[in-house]
Amino acid sequence: MSVHIGIVGLPNVGKSTVFNALSTEARAETANYPFCTIESNRAAVPVRDPRLEAIAEIARPAKVVPTAVEFADIAGLVEGASRGEGLGNRFLAEVRLADALLHVIRCFHDDNIAHVGGGMDPCRDADVIETELMLADIETLERRREKVEKWVRGDRTWQAQIEVIDRLLARLGEGRPATTAEEPPGGPLADLLRAVPLLTAKPILYCANTDTSGRHESQTAVDRLRERTGQRGVDLVEICAREEEDLREFDAEEAEGMREELGLGERGLDRLVHAAYHTLGLITFFTAGPKEVRAWTVRRGAKAPEAAGKIHTDFERGFIRARVIAYDDFIGHGGEKGCRDKGLMREEGKDYVVRDGDVIEFLAGT
């Protein structure tokens, strides 16, 4: 499953530094002036999962393949972007391609890095981005309504979409994003979003980019932002992007030693990726054999045939059954043979809902 997350924010908040810290290969230019990023940079970031390593220790495969998330470093947005200010049109076009948004907020003070807002104010900065996305959605919905009004004259079934558009326009006009819409699942709103992917309907994750000094000012900014995201029920991850980027210059063992010495705990980047999984409602299942142990991404609630289709579309069409071992059982009993001997390998049909950590072998026909 290809997951595409767009990194957004005002200019000079550290988006490209976050991107560089995440990526092992692609590098984005960083500089002390707005719109340093013009063309978006993209990188597939492997998802570090200790369960994959534990399964591989038992299966001893020739190859171990993690799942990955694609991140895109998108040009900075400024007030007026919905009207084309700055690089607004390009920004909004890139955002529409994303499955979810990682909104980087500046929570650090640095006299050498200009702040387009005139000073550190994380809630104000978050409001600027959110407002521009809502204004863009209003324009999109107004254009959509004009089209649907013509269609409804010949087919009254389109009336339901006009009504949901009007409810969304009213909500956006009150400063509430489309994610807060209280509409029944699978109804007219779902039909509308398939045709018109609204920007404020996308899942969003916030990243508080702090400094290394531990200044009171920086922590106060993070606390204010955490209160805001908490009220909205949105995840917030706090990292120091510059520190994480610097640690990328060392090999894994050296970086881990420095991390322990500095008391940094879990990699901020791992926390970002895992939070992105949570925000998007994703889980991981595994396949394990002598040739390869691999992690796969699927949406939470997916049934076995859909998961099989992530490996190959023919597996979904020809799905017969799945042999499933829970992760804890696989590890606790030394792999597939031990689980089979203990009766812990289950045969599941097409209605089985895949669980996070399942080790699965799919059986499919032609």
Q: Strand 100-106 relative to strand 204-209: parallel, antiparallel, unpaired?
A: parallel
> Token pair of 30, please?
């960083």
Q: According to the annotation, is 214 in a ligand binding site?
A: no
Least confident range from 45-54, 114-123, 153-162: namely 114-123
What residues pair up with 237 in beta bridges, in sequence order?
Answer: 207
Q: What are phi and psi of 245, to 5 degrees?
A: -65, -40
Please give the structure tokens belonging to residue 144.
Answer: 């959509």
Angle between helices 188-195 and 159-173 (to 10 degrees): 80
What three-state secondary structure class fits 287? Answer: strand
CATH class, range 301-364: alpha beta
DSSP state of 353: B
Beta bridge pairs of residue 288: 293
Return the SS3 of 105: strand
Q: Which residue has the tokens 């690089």?
A: 87
14 is in an annotated binding site: yes
- Distance, in Å, from the CA atom of 129 to the CA atom of 207, rounded to the nearest integer, reads 14
Question: 180-184, 190-194, 214-218: which has the highest mean pLDDT?
Answer: 190-194
Between helix 88-97 and helix 122-152 the angle, nearest 10°, is 70
Which residues is 236 bridged to in the sheet?
Answer: 206
For the chain, give the percent of residues with pLDDT over 70.
86
Residue with tokens 């534990």: 54
Question: What is the distance between the alpha carbons of residues 126 and 229, in angstroms, rounded to a whole number?
Answer: 10
**By three-state DSSP, how is residue 323 classified?**
strand
Q: Is 366 annotated as a binding residue?
A: no
**pLDDT value at position 86?**
46
What mean pLDDT value characterizes the chain? 86
Residue 58 is predicted with a pLDDT of 97
Gyration radius (Cα) of the chain, Å: 23
Residue 35 pLDDT grade (very low, low, confident, very high; cuts 50, 70, 90): very low
Other CB atoms within a 10 A radius of the CB of residue 286 amount to 23
The residue among 167, 194, 197, 14 whose CA lies nearest residue 103 is 14
Question: For the chain, what are the domain ranges?
Answer: 4-278, 301-364
**Beta-ladder partners of 299:** 282
Q: If DSSP codes are grouped into helix, strand and coil, which group holds residue 192?
A: helix
Please tell me whether 213 is known to bind a ligand. no
Q: What proportion of the chain, given as a percentage, has pLDDT over 90?
A: 50
Identify the CATH class of 4-278: alpha beta
Q: Find the mean pLDDT for residues 226-255.
A: 85
16 is in an annotated binding site: yes
Higher pLDDT among residues 362 and 240, named by residue: 362
Residue 147 is assigned to a ligand binding site: no
User: pLDDT tens digit string along 250-264?
Assistant: 777 787 777 777 666
Whole-angstrom Cα distance, residue 234 to residue 221?
Answer: 17
What angle is formed at CA 301 by the lines to CA 293 and CA 43, rounded to 5 degrees?
A: 50
Reported as a single tens digit per residue, the pLDDT across 271-320 is 888 898 889 999 999 999 999 999 999 999 999 999 999 999 999 999 99
Q: What is the pLDDT of residue 32?
A: 45
Q: Where are the alpha helices (DSSP H) in 87-158?
A: 88-97, 122-152
